[in-house]
Each structure stands twice: as C-alpha cells, then as structure tokens.
A and B are shown apart, each in its own frame.
Chain A
Amino acid sequence: MTAKPEVVEVEGWFGSDSDGAYLVGSRCTACGSYFFPKQTFACRNPRCGSTELDEVPLSRRGRVWSSTTNHFAPPPPYPAREPFEPYTVVAVELPAERMVVLGHLVRDADPAALRIGDEVEVVIEPFYESGDATHTVWKWRPVP
C-alpha cells in the first residue's frame, strides 16, 4: 500500500525548510506588528494603518501559555477522526512576536505533562485522512 499524498489543510499558513517547520504570519513594514493568521490588506495597529505587510516565518519555538484536552467530538466542520480521539489544544506565547498562537499538541506527547512556560516547537503533522489524501496541519511539540 502506497502512502496517500499529503495536502496542507490551510494553504499558506505554514511551511518548512531545512531548519524545520514554521508558521507563516505577516509583519507590518512600518511598525513591526505581527499577525497570525496573516493580515493581508492593512496593519491593525490603530496608530499605524500601513498597507505594506510582508509574509514572514514566525518564531519556531515558544512557551506554553495554557492547554486543554477535548474529550468530546466538536460540531462540524471539525474533521473528527472515527472513532473520536481526544485532542489537546495548546496556546503558545511566541517570544519575538509577543503574541499567543493556538495549535494542537502532537499526537504522541503527553498532555498531562505540559506546564505553563514549557518550551514547544512547531511541526507539521497529519491532521486527518480523506479518501485520497492525508491532510496536514501545524502542531506544537514539546522540546526535550
């Protein structure tokens, strides 16, 4: 059996290079504010409002702000696995951007071991399987 092709779940939100995975955000060229998901048309800093925004990779590592594990299947459009598997959502503070970004915890990590302030890094992992593809998404993995 050959592996299904991988497709990214949301186009343009994350990528990878020789150093590993990263989230793609935008950065205002005038004031330096970051945005994730990307802000494409205007900076949201009320004292700026510049329309010049660059696409930039965000910090690959951050610190846990909080986390929670969901034990019930959420409503559509979440593509829940069958049978349902609990999943952990982690909120992570990025140091340079001074912002918090949510993401799932990687499947093989122990959510009970996570503490506020723990270092995590972004990785790309399978999210769910459809008929002809493996859909991938960004996740947070504890840094040993």
Chain B
Amino acid sequence: MSRSERERDVAVIGVGMHPYGKWGRSFVEYGVVAARAALADAGITLDDVQFIAGGDTMRNGYQGYVAGATFAQALGWTGVPVSSAYGACASGAMAIQAARAQILAGFCDVALVVGADTAPQGFFGPAPGERWNDPDWLRFRVLGATNPTYFGLYARRRMELHGATLDDFAAVKVKNSRHGAQNPNARYRKEFTLEEISASPVVADPLRLVDICATSDGAAAVVLSSRDYARSRDVDAPVRVIGVSTVTPTYPNTYVDMPDIGTDSAAAVDPPALSYRDSIAAAAYEEAGAGPDDVSFAEVYDLSTALELDWYENIGLCGPGEAEKLLREGDTTLGGRVPVNPSGGLACFGEAIPAQAIAQLCEVTWQLRGTAGARQVENARVGLAINQGLFGHGSCIIATR
C-alpha cells in the first residue's frame, strides 16, 4: 500500500548510529558519532538544526540527566533550544516525540534526536544507597527481583498458557542472530545454533543466558524535519513518521510489570479492555490510520526471546496464543510474511537504554529506503517499532515511505 502524506507526518531525513559494543568510553562520544552520521546522512550541517532532543541516561552522572544539552555542547553550542527526556527504555521515543511536537507546532523545521549510553557490566541493579521507599530498590532488596526475573515470569506463563517450548525460544534466538549477523552496527554478529543455545546456563528459569539481552554501549540519532523542509531539500519520497505512541497504563494495570512487587487492584474498577502492551501499539495504529495488516515488518523489544513472542500478539500480528505458530512457520524470519527484528534486535545489540527507540527508527528507515543490504525486507512499506520502559513508559513508532 502507499500512503499519501498527512498533516501530522514528519520526515526522517537522516539516521546514524555508533556501533554497539562494550567500548568503555563516554556515552557523549558515542552520541556525537551517531549525531554526525545522521547529519551527514541528511546532507545538512549543525547550523541547519533548530532543536536538539536528548534521551537521558541514569548511570553516567549529571551529563546523562541533561542529555540534550550535553550533546549540544559536545557538538558545539549553536544556541538552539534543547530537551532531555527520561522514560527508561522508552526515553528515545520521548525524545522523538518532543522533536516531532516542536516540528508539528511550527516552532522549528529541523530537529536532531540523540540517545547514547555507557552501560555497566552484568545485571542492571538499582541506584546505590538504602532507599526503603523506592520500589525499584525494594524489589532488588526484598525479592532479588532482577529484570530477568520478570522475563522469566512472562516466559513461564507463556509456556503454560500457550504451549511455548524451549525450542521456540531457541528458534527466536537463531532467527535474530541470523538477521543480526548481517548488521554492521550489531555487537554480536555470530549465528547461534540450537546446540549452543541448549548449552547456555539457565539464568531465570526457563530462560537461559542467551535468551536474555545484554547491556551495551552504543548510540543512535535521527534528523526529523517538517514535510515542507524535506521538499525544499529535494529529498525524494522521504521516510515519514506517521504515528508515535508514548502512552502510560490505564488504571488498574493488573499485569506484573517491572518494578512491581504488587500490581494495581481490580477490586473497585475492572481492568481496561486492552492490556497495557496492547494499548501501546493501538495508540500508534490509531494515529497512523493503519492496522496490523498494513505492517510489512516490525522491530520489537526482545529483552528476552520469549518476550518477542508476546509482542507478536501485542502488535496484532496474530491472536493471543498464536505467536508460536507464526514463528514456526517462518512468517517472522527475513523472507517471511512479516519479518520481525530484521536488525537482529536486542539479541544482537544488547540494550543501550536511551538509544533504543531511536535505533529502532534508524533500522525502520533503512528498511523503508531499501538500503538495509543483506538484511533487507522485501517490499518494505510500513514499519512498526515498539518497546516499553519500566515504570509505565510506552514506545511505539510507525513509519512509511
């Protein structure tokens, strides 16, 4: 399908990344590399940028809390306004939404969005100190409820309710590792075999180490512009963002979400018709005037292999309990009906938290332009990228060309 331009579309005129890894350098450096790559890709200079939106990082000191200004200073102050947004793994979507709102409100024509992180080793822990009133600290202290604990709960539930098997989870890993092996920005570019996966140690039963995404250093940046600006630059059929969702849950959210120790109660009010994850995609579809049938490929937040299967259902690629069938029939593999995570996903990148939603839009843009090389999705018309940040942050972006 082709979609005519609409009032609320913004153009993606440049994208760029810093490759993911464990580089051990400052997140600011990665962000500058990604930003410069995006500006070069757009064929513009910093002087053309009228707004800079940063995705914050919480583990790199004050510079990380004011990421917009940090990147603006590192690129060289030009006097433009900045914003800095934190929404955990959804920080990048918040930054994209801030830039989009500035453009659609007419405050600017060109905005640069940057997210970058330098990540610690191993499991994410809470911020240091003793904080008996902080739910994120308490879940580690009283329960040892690490992030993989929650992924394990979801995975186990999926196995019992929908008949997912360890082989299915392994198949997700094999698929994504095959996709990511073709991606120069990926950190892990090795194709996994079923034997290697079954030899991996169990972390949070039933999930193994290779089922769970690592934490990485990396960065991503995009240049967004008004449609008029893109036309004035003679950008031929630019990729357009047609829907962005940054919704929070609706009370009562009775699904166990990080960092809950107890969910909301539905004693007084029935839960909403749509689960929180379903509602993240639904809001983006509504804005885009599109539905799951329009989606040619998707980038979903595979914090674990099992969670990727949940997302198939949350974004409407299939009904509840049908994700395993979709996977087993090869529909979500490159060459299939609706490839999922053609980039290789978090399985091959690891997460660099504030860069994540921006990196997803980079991949969506390369796919829609038809420049994704060996991992190109055929006939890529509409791409959807979704993720969720802890503490109730939705992130979904739909783009087309």
Residue positions of A touching B, CB distance < 8 A: 9-10, 25, 28, 31-37, 44-48, 65-72, 74-80, 87, 89, 91, 96-104, 111, 115-116, 137
Complex: how many Å from CA A87 to CA B264? 25
> When the two chains form the complex, which single residue of B144, B153, B203, B269 contacts A87, counting CB atoms closer than 8 Å?
B144
CB atoms of A46 and B251 under 8 A apart: yes
Given known contacts A37-B138, A71-B203, A116-B157, A25 and B262 CB-to-CB distance under 8 angstroms: yes
- Enumerate chain A residues within 8 angstroms of B260, measured Cβ to Cβ: 100, 102
A32, A47, A66 — which one has the most chain B CB atoms within 10 A of its CB?
Answer: A66
CB pairs A–B below 8 angstroms (27 shown): A10-B138, A25-B262, A34-B265, A34-B267, A36-B261, A48-B268, A65-B256, A67-B153, A67-B156, A68-B152, A68-B207, A69-B152, A72-B123, A74-B146, A75-B122, A75-B124, A75-B140, A77-B137, A77-B140, A79-B141, A89-B143, A89-B149, A89-B153, A99-B254, A99-B262, A102-B261, A115-B160
B141, B142, B203, B260 — which one has the most chain A CB atoms within 10 A of its CB?
Answer: B142
Beyond the given A66-B256, A100-B254, could you list 5 further A-B residue pairs with CB under 8 A, ordered by the A residue number? A68-B207, A75-B123, A89-B144, A89-B153, A100-B256
Interface string of B202-241 (1 = CB under 8 A from A): 1111110000000000000000000000000000000000
Complex: how many Å from CA A63 to CA B267? 16
Closest to B132 in A: A10
- Enumerate chain A residues within 8 angstroms of B268, measured Cβ to Cβ: 28, 31-33, 45, 48
- Enumerate chain B residues within 8 angstroms of A87, measured Cβ to Cβ: 144
Residue positions of B touching A, CB distance < 8 A: 122-126, 130, 132, 135, 137-146, 148-149, 152-157, 160-161, 201-207, 251-252, 254-256, 260-269
- Enumerate chain A residues within 8 angstroms of B262, measured Cβ to Cβ: 25, 35-37, 99-102
- Enumerate chain A residues within 8 angstroms of B202, measured Cβ to Cβ: 69, 71
> When the two chains form the complex, which single residue of A69, A70, A89, A98 contacts B267, counting CB atoms closer than 8 Å?
A98
CB atoms of A77 and B205 under 8 A apart: no
> When the two chains form the complex, which single residue of A70, A96, A99 contacts B203, counting CB atoms closer than 8 Å?
A70
Complex: how many Å from CA A99 to CA B154? 16
B376 to chain A, nearest CB (A): 37
- Enumerate chain A residues within 8 angstroms of B255, measured Cβ to Cβ: 100
B137, B251, B265, B267 — which one has the most chain A CB atoms within 10 A of its CB?
Answer: B265
Complex: how many Å from CA A70 to CA B140? 12
Given known contacts A65-B157, A70-B149, A98 and B125 CB-to-CB distance under 8 angstroms: no
Complex: how many Å from CA A137 to CA B203? 23
Complex: how many Å from CA A10 to CA B135? 12
The 9 nearest A-B residue pairs measured at CB:
A68-B152, A75-B125, A36-B262, A98-B266, A34-B265, A66-B157, A99-B265, A69-B205, A78-B144
Given known contacts A69-B204, A71-B205, A91-B256, A102 and B145 CB-to-CB distance under 8 angstroms: yes
Closest to A87 in B: B144
B145, B251, B267 — which one has the most chain A CB atoms within 10 A of its CB?
Answer: B267
Given known contacts A25-B262, A48-B268, A98-B254, A89 and B154 CB-to-CB distance under 8 angstroms: no
> When the two chains form the complex, which single residue of A47, A72, A91 contacts B153, counting CB atoms closer than 8 Å?
A91
A79 to chain B, nearest CB (A): 8
> When the two chains form the complex, which single residue of A35, A79, A80 contacts B265, counting CB atoms closer than 8 Å?
A35
B122, B205, B255 — which one has the most chain A CB atoms within 10 A of its CB?
Answer: B205
Closest to B154 in A: A66
- Enumerate chain A residues within 8 angstroms of B251, measured Cβ to Cβ: 44-46
- Enumerate chain A residues within 8 angstroms of B130, measured Cβ to Cβ: 77
Closest to A99 in B: B265
Closest to B120 in A: A75
- Enumerate chain A residues within 8 angstroms of B265, measured Cβ to Cβ: 33-35, 97-99
CB atoms of B205 and A68 under 8 A apart: yes
CB atoms of A70 and B135 under 8 A apart: no
CB atoms of A102 and B205 under 8 A apart: no
> When the two chains form the complex, which single residue of B142, B156, B252 contacts A33, counting CB atoms closer than 8 Å?
B252
A63 to chain B, nearest CB (A): 13
B125, B201, B256, B262 — which one has the most chain A CB atoms within 10 A of its CB?
Answer: B262
CB atoms of B126 and A72 under 8 A apart: no
Closest to A89 in B: B149
CB atoms of A111 and B269 under 8 A apart: no
CB atoms of A78 and B141 under 8 A apart: yes
CB atoms of B261 and A37 under 8 A apart: yes
- Enumerate chain B residues within 8 angstroms of A78, measured Cβ to Cβ: 140-141, 144
B285 to chain A, nearest CB (A): 24
Closest to A114 in B: B156
CB atoms of A74 and B144 under 8 A apart: yes
Complex: how many Å from CA A77 to CA B205? 22
Closest to A36 in B: B262
- Enumerate chain B residues within 8 angstroms of A45, measured Cβ to Cβ: 251-252, 268-269
Complex: how many Å from CA A99 to CA B251? 12
